[in-house]
């Protein structure tokens, strides 16, 4: 036998070992808020049906105007519309990955875990039970970080006791929800102070970012591996729990900022460009070698936002065309090997209270012609609407609605977003698009006795 075949035979033998774990196709999700994106517009821009979207909400949601009591339900027309899963417009079976981080504080200083009453947990369980999607609950994450209201110096034993109450209540109302324990990546080895026990955890996760703190430079080759290996091995492997990278991206910095160590003012220095900076991060995470090294890894969530921290940091891969192209190339390469999971188109996802049916626009058609042709039906109405909407840019926002009344509600909602969130840049276009849709709907409505088709923006 030729010796040249020996390495190949050894590889095949390893792959067939019964104890060699096989990783599942990777769920690649995204987290954005207070941006121009919706789930549908994200799928259009990124040219894929993403299998999961992350959002955040707190229960309690906020304090009363006088600051003396809490309000459990979210505010009507909350500018972070992603909080309300029934407003998601992707029209797929994408999962909802929900982060619940307690950042509410009363006037008397009561905050964090002290506000996690039995009543609050009942509200949480009931709200999760209404979501008609696969749901993951990432509850009070990064608990080892002092930036969290429940972080140090909160005793780990207190965190664990509240966690167990939460887990029991959530499972009572929504037994299919998967509860995620997700400390920050720098949890010290063998620190089990906030570990509730394997019977109270469905999934283990952590957050991974690369930040240069004043320098945009090449990420060390082992940075991501070194960041996750402790939590992955000590919890996911030890207890055979699926693993998720709950937040992740490279943080491209610009302008001036303050050193987190010395407090001195710094001007950003770059030794690589933004494309290379992000490529180094994602080429490692979105590789077969990475997935094979961590076979319990089931999902990775991209943090696609830009915001002011110690420096202005741009975590996004969607905004810059060259960055997006390189990111999509890494995704395509992994997908070509059958290692990616994508969502399926469905009707009437969201929640039991939802009556909308979202629609999908061909990204290729939009990119090539700027015209979005839509046909989507809802069986509970007797009217049919059809519309070819001219899209003014590639960030097409899709909104499905069964009747004119809901269209007016969406218009009101977009005005509320514009009035309360200066970070949103496309609301005027969105509002005009909805107005055009309403006018066109009234002009072209024809009775067909069965269905209603929803135009798109």
Instruction: For tokens 């998720």, name the residue.
Output: 244
Q: Is 247 in the active site?
A: yes
247, 253, 298, 360: which is the annotated catalytic residue? 247
Residue 203 CA, chain-centre distance (Å), reads: 16
Residue 348 Rama label (left phi>0; alpha psi -120 to 50; beta): left
Task: Annotate 203-217 with DSSP letters as a single string.
Answer: EEEEEEEEE-SSEE-
142, 253, 298, 360: which is the annotated catalytic residue? 142
User: Distance (Å, rounded) from C-alpha 357 to C-alpha 252?
Assistant: 37
Residue 399 Rama label (left phi>0; alpha psi -120 to 50; beta): beta
User: Distance (Å, rounded) from C-alpha 405 to C-alpha 435?
Assistant: 12
- In a 3-state reduction of DSSP, which class is residue 293? helix
Let me know how long the chain is.
457
Q: Is 142 in the active site?
A: yes
Q: Which is nearest to 91 in space by CA: 50, 149, 33, 55?
A: 50
Residue 97 neighbours by CB under 8 Å, 6+ apart: 29, 31, 52, 53, 54, 55, 136, 138, 180, 244, 246, 299, 301
Q: State which H helix or E strand residue 169 sits in.
A: helix 156-173
Tokens for 76, please give them: 């009507």
The angle that helices 404-420 and 427-444 make with each other, rounded to 10 degrees, is: 170
Residue 438 neighbours by CB under 8 Å, 6+ apart: 404, 407, 408, 411
Contact 249, 308 (CB under 8 A): no
User: Distance (Å, rounded) from C-alpha 144 to C-alpha 229?
Assistant: 17
- In a 3-state reduction of DSSP, which class is residue 190? coil
3-state DSSP percent of the chain in helix, strand and coil, to 5: 35, 20, 45
The angle that helices 39-46 and 321-336 make with each other, rounded to 10 degrees, is: 80
**Angle 348-351-354 (CA atoms, 0-180°, nearest 5)?**
60
Instruction: For tokens 């079976």, name the residue.
Output: 93
- Residues with catalytic roles: 142, 247
């Amino acid at each position: 036998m030729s010796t040249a075949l020996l390495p190949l035979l050894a590889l095949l033998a390893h792959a067939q070992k019964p104890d060699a774990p096989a990783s599942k196709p990777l769920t690649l999700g995204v987290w954005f808020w207070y941006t121009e994106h919706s789930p549908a517009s994200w799928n259009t821009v990124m040219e894929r049906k993403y299998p999961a979207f992350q959002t955040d909400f707190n229960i309690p949601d906020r304090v009363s105007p006088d600051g003396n009591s809490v309000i459990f339900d979210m505010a009507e027309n909350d500018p972070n519309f992603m909080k309300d899963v029934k407003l998601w417009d992707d029209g797929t079976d994408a999962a909802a990955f929900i982060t619940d981080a307690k950042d509410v504080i009363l006037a008397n200083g009561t905050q964090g875990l002290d506000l996690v009453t039995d009543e609050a947990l009942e509200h949480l369980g009931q709200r999760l039970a209404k979501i008609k999607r696969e749901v993951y609950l990432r509850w009070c994450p990064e608990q080892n970080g002092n930036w969290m209201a429940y972080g140090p110096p909160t005793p780990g034993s207190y965190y664990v006791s509240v966690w167990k109450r939460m887990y029991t209540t959530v499972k009572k109302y929504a037994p299919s929800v998967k509860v995620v324990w997700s400390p920050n990546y720098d949890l010290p080895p063998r620190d089990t102070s906030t570990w509730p026990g394997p019977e109270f955890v469905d999934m283990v996760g952590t957050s991974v970012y690369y930040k240069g703190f004043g320098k945009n430079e090449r990420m060390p080759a082992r940075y991501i591996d070194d960041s996750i290996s402790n939590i992955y091995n000590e919890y996911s492997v030890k207890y055979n729990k699926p693993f998720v990278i709950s937040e992740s991206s490279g943080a491209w910095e610009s302008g001036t900022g303050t050193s987190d160590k010395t407090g001195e003012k710094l001007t950003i220095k770059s030794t690589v460009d933004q494309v290379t900076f992000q490529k180094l991060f994602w080429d490692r995470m979105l590789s077969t070698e990475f997935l094979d090294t961590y076979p319990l890894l089931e999902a990775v969530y991209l943090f696609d936002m830009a915001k002011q921290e110690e420096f202005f940091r741009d975590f996004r891969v969607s905004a810059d065309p060259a960055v997006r192209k390189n990111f999509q190339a890494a995704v395509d390469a992994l997908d070509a090997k059958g290692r990616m999971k994508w969502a399926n188109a469905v009707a009437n996802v969201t929640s039991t209270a939802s009556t909308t049916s979202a629609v999908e626009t061909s990204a290729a058609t939009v990119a090539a012609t700027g015209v979005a042709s839509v046909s989507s039906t809802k069986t509970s109405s007797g009217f049919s609407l059809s519309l070819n909407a001219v899209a003014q840019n590639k960030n097409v926002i899709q909104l499905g609605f069964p009747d004119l009344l809901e269209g007016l509600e969406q218009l009101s909602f977009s005005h509320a977003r514009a009035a309360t969130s200066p970070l949103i840049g496309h609301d005027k276009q969105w509002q005009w698009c909805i107005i055009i849709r309403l006018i066109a709907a009234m002009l072209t409505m024809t009775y067909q006795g069965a269905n209603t088709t929803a135009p798109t923006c």
